[in-house]
Amino acid sequence: MTASTMADQQPGTAAEHRRPGRPRSEQADRAIIDAALSLFAEHGVEGLCIEEVAALAGVGKATIYRRWPGKEELLVDALAALKTPLPELRGESARDDLVALLDAMAADYADPRRARSFALLLGEGAKFPRLMSRYVETVVEPRREVMRAVLRRGVATGELRPDTDIEVALFMLTGAVLARGKHQPEGIAEGFAGRVVDELLRGLNAG
């Protein structure tokens, strides 16, 4: 299974909330997502309301409720739409696949709109634990699982040490990008992901 296939199977996204009826309009979906992101960036979670999303998107409230049961589900899908798609992984080298995944993660910081939205969500996470939990479960965790699969495969093929701690390695990799993105708002420099992976592999390499 490819990384993109695994990522497409995320539970809890808009597809899960679809109801029988008329075919969905991709144009309406895009307008609703864009409106939700704009209002979220301006007002935060508390200031986001379905009525204003509908007005800004040019659709009726019923159109939104046919797609999402409430504003938290809508916001999770809107934020998920901002994430850089995971690349197709070649599956030949754990090192190369890890760099590709971290490059996609770093790309989220190249777009100021994405970076601001994710920072705002993290800042408000304590006030909205259910929203944060749902975001982690449906958006973040499936992407982490793709990276875990690469690490496990590296262990199985002998590229990584047999006693590699998958969770520690995962958070060392992702944590480096998160920390760099937080302190480098203008965007993460090209090649940073490769340096992170290579430095980590010095300690995990089977040779």
59, 124: one domain: no
User: Is residue 16 pLDDT above 80, yes or no?
Assistant: no
Would you say residue 165 lies in a domain?
yes
Shared domain for 91 and 188, answered yes or no, is yes
Which has the closest alpha carbon to 9: 65, 72, 80? 80
Same domain, 75 and 91: no
Residue 183 lies in a domain: yes
124 and 183: one domain? yes
The answer to whether residues 92 and 172 belong to one domain is yes
Rounded Cα gap, residues 81 and 17, in angstroms: 16
Q: How far is the CA of 144 from the CAs of 69, 164, 169, 202, 205, in angstroms?
A: 27, 16, 11, 22, 21
- Domain extent, residue 94, equals 86-204
Domain boundary among 47, 81, 115: 81
* Dist CA 83 CA 105 (whole Å): 8
What does the pLDDT average to over 160-182? 91
Place of tokens 């701690």: 165
- Residue 133 domain flag: yes
Examine the domain organization and report whether 60 and 109 are in the same domain: no
pLDDT at 95: 96
**94 with 52, same domain?**
no
When mean pLDDT is compared over 20-24, 42-46, 108-112, the highest value belongs to 42-46
On the question of pLDDT at 8 being above 50, the answer is no
pLDDT number for residue 153: 97
Q: Is 151 exposed, middle or buried (0-12, 13-18, 19+ CB in 10 A)?
A: buried
71-110 confidence digits (pLDDT tens): 999 999 999 998 989 999 999 999 999 999 999 998 887 7
Contact in structure between 33 and 48 (CB atoms under 8 Å) = no
In a domain, 2, yes or no: no
Confidence at residue 24, expressed as pLDDT on a 0 to 100 scale: 61
d(CA 88, CA 109) in angstroms, rounded, equals 20
Of 81, 102, 130, which residue constitutes the final position of a domain?
81
Number of domains in the chain: 2
CATH number of domain containing 200: 1.10.357.10
Residues 129 and 43 in one domain: no
Same domain, yes or no: 142 and 70: no
Where is the domain boundary, 81, 108, 140? 81
Chain mean pLDDT for the chain: 85
Q: Which residue has the higher pLDDT, 20 or 155?
A: 155
User: Which has the higher per-residue pLDDT, 12 or 172?
Assistant: 172
- Kindly state the average pLDDT of the residues 151-168: 95
Residues 67 and 105 grouped into a single domain: no
